[in-house]
């Protein structure tokens, strides 16, 4: 089973919510191109907002999964900054331990968890000649994205992937880190060509992922 968890901002004014959801909404209910061969009955979309506690997020995921070892891949669609994944109340090093409740539902040897937000693995961000870029920080710290991914992997028992830079594609942009439950990690280069933003065509839109 593939489960997508989407962030839907509702706590601000209508204009603030619209601005926060502008990059996320095109992907509500959408399926990544590499999941199109998966039967619709094996794909579920869940939606949370700012008032959703991380424990509640995990509870909704496990309720949707129903059976042990049934989640092949968990996809997260939200905004992010170094050290915080902005899903529900926000995932940080301080609440990542709740992912231990997800462990029995993840498929051993599956694709694990993909964090589709900006700076998921970054220890900080700055400007480069090509725009905003994250950087890797090896020191464990509560504002370090790598530390957050490491905690999620440790408690969930599956590999977790996230990228250093801004993200607008299902195939993560730039340097991508895959963190294993034992704390080891590997770095690969994701998409290096200019990313395609949504709005031009169905084909182009299917390639894009929000920041």
Q: What is the pLDDT of residues 98-156, one digit of tens each?
A: 999 999 999 999 999 999 999 999 988 765 555 567 878 888 888 899 999 999 999 99
Q: How many CB atoms lie within 10 A of CB 105?
A: 22
Q: What percent of the chain has pLDDT above 70?
A: 86
Residue 134 contacts residue 164 (beta carbons within 8 Å): yes
| DSSP structural state of residue 104 | G
Reported confidence tier of residue 43, pLDDT bands at 50, 70, 90: very high
CA nearest 166: which of 128, 129, 118, 124?
Answer: 118
Q: Name the pTM for this structure.
A: 0.87
User: What's residue 205's pLDDT?
Assistant: 34
User: What's residue 137's pLDDT?
Assistant: 84
Distance from C-alpha of 126 to C-alpha of 21, rounded to nearest angstrom: 24
């Amino acid at each position: 089973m593939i489960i997508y968890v989407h962030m839907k901002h509702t706590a601000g004014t209508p204009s603030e919510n619209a601005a926060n959801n502008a990059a996320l909404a095109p992907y509500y209910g959408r399926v990544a191109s590499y999941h199109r061969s998966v039967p619709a009955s094996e794909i579920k979309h869940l939606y949370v907002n700012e008032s959703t506690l991380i424990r509640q997020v995990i509870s909704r995921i496990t309720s949707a999964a129903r059976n042990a070892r049934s989640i092949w891949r968990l996809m997260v669609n939200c905004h992010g900054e170094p050290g915080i994944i902005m899903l529900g109340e926000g995932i940080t090093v301080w609440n990542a331990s709740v992912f231990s409740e997800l462990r029995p539902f993840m498929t051993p040897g599956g694709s694990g968890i993909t964090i589709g937000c900006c700076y998921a693995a970054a220890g900080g961000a700055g400007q480069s000649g090509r725009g905003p870029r994250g950087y890797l920080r090896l020191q464990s710290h509560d504002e370090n994205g790598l530390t957050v991914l490491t905690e999620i992997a440790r408690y969930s028992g599956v590999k977790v992937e996230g990228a250093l830079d801004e993200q607008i594609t299902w195939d993560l942009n730039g340097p991508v880190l895959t963190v294993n439950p034992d704390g080891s990690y590997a770095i690969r280069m994701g998409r290096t060509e200019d990313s395609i933003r949504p709005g031009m065509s169905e084909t182009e839109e299917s390639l894009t992922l929000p920041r």
